[in-house]
C-alpha cells in the first residue's frame, strides 16, 4: 500500500524530469482479465481529467473490458475525481454512497482515482470508512492500472497506490478519444505556481513539459487521422518549456504545431505571469491558432491577488488584456474569478467588479473560495460569512452574464466559422459546434456536416449560445 503525503507532494527539486517511453505495459494475463466484463468511467473536473479518462478507458480496453454508458451495467466502475473545491468531493462521496448499496446486491469492482486520491485526508477517510472500495490510484499511477486491477481480482483485498512524487512524463500510455474531430493533447503536467488557494501543485506534482518532438508527432498523427482541432493542455501552458532548459517556449511550440497544418489550435490554461509578447505575435500570425484565450484573473484587488500569491497586479493584468485585444483580431477572452477569499472586503470585491466592467469578458467561471486542506490559504481565517459570499457571487454573475450577452450580440447577422461536432441537445434538426472564438452555436444542418468546418450566419443570440444557418 502506498498512501499520499502532503509534505512529500510539496517538494520541488532541481532533478531532471524522467521521460519514460516504455513504462506502461499490459501482459497477456491482464489482457484476459476484462473478457466478458463491462466498465464505466465517471469523470469529474477539468479537461485534464477528461483527457486522463481517455487514457484510463484505453487501458481498460487493452485489458478487454467493454465500455458501457450506464453505471448500473458495469462490472468495473472507476471514478476519476477532482479536488479543486469541496463540492467536487461532496459529489464523489454522494455517488460512492449510492454505489455501496449496489455493491450489496451485485458484484462490482470500484476504484477511485485522480486528484482526490492524492489527498492525505481523503485516503485517511477511505481507509477508515470506505473499506469496501476496491482500489485507489493517484494521478501518477495511471500507467500501473493493469497491475492494480489484476491485484484486486486476484487478491480480493483493497489496493491503495498513490505516490506523492514530483512526477515523471510517461509517453506510452494509450488513449481512446471521446471525440472524432477534436483532441486534447497534454503539453505539460503539474504546476509550480503554488497559488495559495490551490491544491493542484500538490495533487499533480511539479511542472514537467513533454518534449516538443513528442507533442508534434502526436498532432501530426491526429491530422493524419482526420482530426480538425487540438487543444494543448496544461495547468499553466504559458510556462511550457521552462523546465526543459532548451530555450523553447510556448511561442515556439505554437508555431511548430501551427506548421503541422491542423485546422484549429487552442491552448488552456494561460497564466498572466508568463504571457510573453512573442507568444502574442505567434497567436496573431497564424490563422490556425484560434483567437481565444482563457486568462484567469481570480480577483481585481491587489491586496487579494497578493494574498493569493498570483504574482501580478490588477494593472499588469489590464495591460496584458489590452495588448491581447489590440494585437489579436477579434480575440475573445474568458476568465476565472474567486469570491470570498479570506479578508476580501466590500472594497476588494468592488475592485473585482470594476475590472470586470473594464474587461467585459466574453464569459467567466466564478467560484466561492473553498479552503483546501494543506494549502496556505486554508490556514488563513475563512472570515467571510457564507451569505456574503453567496451575495457577491450572485452580483458578479449578473454582471458577467450581462457582458456575455452583449458580446454575443455583436455576432448577430455576422458570418462565423464553426466546427460542427455533435447533435444539438437543445434544438431539433440542429448540430452544434464552436466558433474560432469559442462561442457555442446551434446550426440548422443535415448530419452529413458533422466534423466539417462550415460558414454560419448568426440568426439569434442568447447569453450562453448563438443560433445560425449555414451559408456558402
Residues near 452 by beta carbon (within 8 Å), at least 6 away in sequence? 419, 420
In whole angstroms, the minimum distance from the beta carbon of 428 to ligand SF4 comes to 40
Beta bridge partners of 222: none
In whole angstroms, the minimum distance from the beta carbon of 309 to ligand 5AD comes to 12
CB neighbourhood size of 59 (10 A):
23
**Direct distance between the N- and C-terminal alpha carbons of the chain, in angstroms, rounded to an integer:** 61
Cα separation, 174 vs 212, whole angstroms: 19
**In the chain, how long is the greatest CA-to-CA distance?**
64
* Nearer to ligand SF4 among residue 239 and residue 331 (C-beta): 239
Cα separation, 456 vs 436, whole angstroms: 12
What is the DSSP code string of 107-146?
Answer: --EEEEEEGGGG-HHHHHHHHHH-TT--EEE-TT-GGGHH
195-214 positions binding ligand SF4, by CB under 6 A: 195, 198, 200-201
436 close to 418: Cβ distance less than 8 angstroms = no
Q: Is 389 in the site for ligand 5AD (CB under 6 A)?
A: no
For residue 448, with 0-12 CB atoms within 10 Å meaning exposed, 13-18 middle and 19 or more buried, which class applies?
exposed
294 close to 335: Cβ distance less than 8 angstroms = yes
Q: Is 408 in the site for ligand 5AD (CB under 6 A)?
A: no
User: Which of 31-39, 137-145, 301-309, 362-370 is the region at the interface with ligand 5AD (rule: CB under 6 A)?
Assistant: 362-370
* Nearer to ligand SF4 among residue 110 and residue 305 (C-beta): 305
In whole angstroms, the minimum distance from the beta carbon of 260 to ligand 5AD comes to 29
- Out of 40, 349, 369, 403, point to the residue binding ligand 5AD (CB under 6 A): 369
Report the partner that residue 369 touches, choosing among ligand SF4, ligand 5AD, none (CB closer than 5 to 8 A by kind). ligand 5AD
* Nearer to ligand SF4 among residue 45 and residue 201 (C-beta): 201
279-338 positions binding ligand 5AD, by CB under 6 A: 296, 298, 336, 338
Map residue 99 onto helix, strand or coil.
Answer: helix
Residues near 308 by beta carbon (within 8 Å), at least 6 away in sequence? 195, 196, 197, 298, 299, 338, 341, 377
Map residue 374 onto helix, strand or coil.
Answer: coil
Nearest one of 324, 325, 396 to 367, comparing CA atoms: 396
In whole angstroms, the minimum distance from the beta carbon of 369 to ligand 5AD comes to 5
Residue ranges of E strands in 229-374: 229-233, 264-268, 292-294, 332-339, 363-368
* Nearer to ligand 5AD among residue 249 and residue 298 (C-beta): 298
Cell of 14: 532541481
In whole angstroms, the minimum distance from the beta carbon of 74 to ligand 5AD comes to 29
In whole angstroms, the minimum distance from the beta carbon of 310 to ligand SF4 comes to 7
168-187 positions binding ligand 5AD, by CB under 6 A: none
For residue 88, with 0-12 CB atoms within 10 Å meaning exposed, 13-18 middle and 19 or more buried, which class applies?
middle
161-200 positions binding ligand SF4, by CB under 6 A: 191, 193-195, 198, 200
Map residue 19 onto helix, strand or coil.
Answer: strand
DSSP letter assigned to residue 410: T
- Out of 206, 271, 314, 389, point to the residue binding ligand SF4 (CB under 6 A): 271
* Nearer to ligand SF4 among residue 200 and residue 419 (C-beta): 200
Q: Is 197 in the site for ligand 5AD (CB under 6 A)?
A: yes
- Out of 52, 56, 77, 85, point to the residue binding ligand 5AD (CB under 6 A): 85
405-444 positions binding ligand SF4, by CB under 6 A: none
User: Which of 139-147, 209-217, 365-373, 397-405 is the region at the interface with ligand 5AD (rule: CB under 6 A)?
Assistant: 365-373
Report the partner that residue 338 touches, choosing among ligand 5AD, ligand SF4, none (CB closer than 5 to 8 A by kind). ligand 5AD
In whole angstroms, the minimum distance from the beta carbon of 87 to ligand 5AD comes to 10
Show the site string, 232-251: x = touches ligand SF4 by CB under 6 A, - = not: ---xx---------------
305 close to 267: Cβ distance less than 8 angstroms = no
In whole angstroms, the minimum distance from the beta carbon of 336 to ligand 5AD comes to 3
Q: Which residues bind ligand 5AD (CB under 6 A)?
A: 84-85, 197-198, 296, 298, 336, 338, 367, 369-370, 372
Residues at the contact surface with ligand SF4, assessed by CB under 6 A: 191, 193-195, 198, 200-201, 235-236, 271
Amino acid at each position: 500500500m502506498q498512501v499520499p503525503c502532503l509534505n512529500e507532494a510539496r517538494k520541488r527539486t532541481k532533478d531532471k524530469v524522467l521521460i519514460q517511453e516504455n513504462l506502461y505495459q499490459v501482459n497477456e494475463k491482464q489482457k484476459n482479465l476484462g473478457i466478458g466484463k463491462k466498465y464505466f468511467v465517471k469523470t469529474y473536473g477539468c479537461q485534464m481529467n477528461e483527457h486522463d479518462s481517455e487514457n484510463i478507458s484505453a487501458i481498460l480496453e487493452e485489458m478487454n473490458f467493454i465500455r458501457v454508458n450506464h453505471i448500473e451495467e458495469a462490472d468495473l466502475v472507476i471514478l476519476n475525481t477532482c479536488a479543486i473545491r469541496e463540492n467536487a468531493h461532496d459529489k464523489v462521496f454522494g455517488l460512492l454512497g449510492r454505489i455501496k448499496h449496489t455493491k450489496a446486491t451485485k458484484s462490482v469492482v470500484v476504484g477511485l482515482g485522480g486528484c482526490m486520491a492524492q489527498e492525505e485526508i481523503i485516503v485517511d477517510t477511505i481507509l477508515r470508512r470506505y473499506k469496501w472500495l476496491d482500489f485507489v490510484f493517484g494521478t501518477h499511477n495511471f500507467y500501473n492500472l493493469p497491475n492494480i486491477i489484476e491485484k484486486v481480482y486476484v487478491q480480493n483485498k483493497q489496493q491503495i497506490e498513490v505516490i506523492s512524487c514530483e512526477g515523471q512524463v510517461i509517453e506510452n500510455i494509450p488513449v481512446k478519444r471521446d471525440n472524432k474531430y477534436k483532441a486534447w493533447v497534454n503539453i505539460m503536467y503539474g504546476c509550480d505556481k503554488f497559488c495559495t488557494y490551490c491544491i493542484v501543485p500538490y495533487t499533480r506534482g511539479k511542472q514537467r513539459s513533454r518534449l516538443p518532438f513528442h507533442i508534434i508527432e502526436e498532432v501530426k498523427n491526429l491530422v493524419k487521422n482526420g482530426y480538425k482541432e487540438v487543444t494543448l493542455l496544461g495547468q499553466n501552458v504559458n510556462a511550457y518549456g521552462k523546465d526543459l532548459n532548451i530555450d523553447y517556449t510556448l511561442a515556439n511550440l505554437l508555431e511548430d504545431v501551427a506548421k503541422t497544418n491542423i485546422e484549429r489550435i487552442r491552448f488552456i490554461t494561460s497564466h498572466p505571469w508568463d504571457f510573453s509578447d512573442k507568444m502574442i505575435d505567434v497567436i496573431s500570425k497564424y490563422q490556425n491558432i484560434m483567437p481565444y484565450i482563457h486568462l484567469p484573473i481570480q480577483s481585481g484587488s491587489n491586496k487579494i491577488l497578493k494574498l493569493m500569491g498570483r504574482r501580478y497586479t490588477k494593472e499588469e493584468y489590464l495591460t496584458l488584456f489590452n495588448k491581447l485585444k489590440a494585437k489579436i483580431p477579434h480575440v475573445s477572452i474568458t476568465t476565472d474569478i474567486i469570491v470570498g477569499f479570506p479578508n476580501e472586503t466590500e472594497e476588494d470585491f468592488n475592485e473585482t467588479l470594476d475590472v470586470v466592467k473594464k474587461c467585459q469578458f466574453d464569459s467567466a467561471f466564478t467560484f466561492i473560495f473553498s479552503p483546501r486542506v494543506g494549502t496556505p490559504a486554508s490556514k488563513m481565517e475563512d472570515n467571510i460569512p457564507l451569505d456574503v459570499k453567496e451575495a457577491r457571487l450572485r452580483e458578479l454573475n449578473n454582471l458577467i452574464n450581462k457582458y456575455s450577452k452583449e458580446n454575443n450580440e455583436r455576432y448577430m447577422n455576422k458570418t462565423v466559422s464553426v466546427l460542427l461536432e455533435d447533435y444539438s441537445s437543445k434544438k431539433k434538426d440542429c448540430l452544434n459546434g464552436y466558433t474560432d472564438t469559442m462561442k457555442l452555436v446551434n446550426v440548422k444542418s443535415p448530419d452529413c456536416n458533422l466534423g466539417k468546418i462550415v460558414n454560419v450566419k448568426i440568426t439569434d443570440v442568447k447569453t450562453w449560445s448563438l443560433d445560425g444557418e449555414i451559408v456558402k
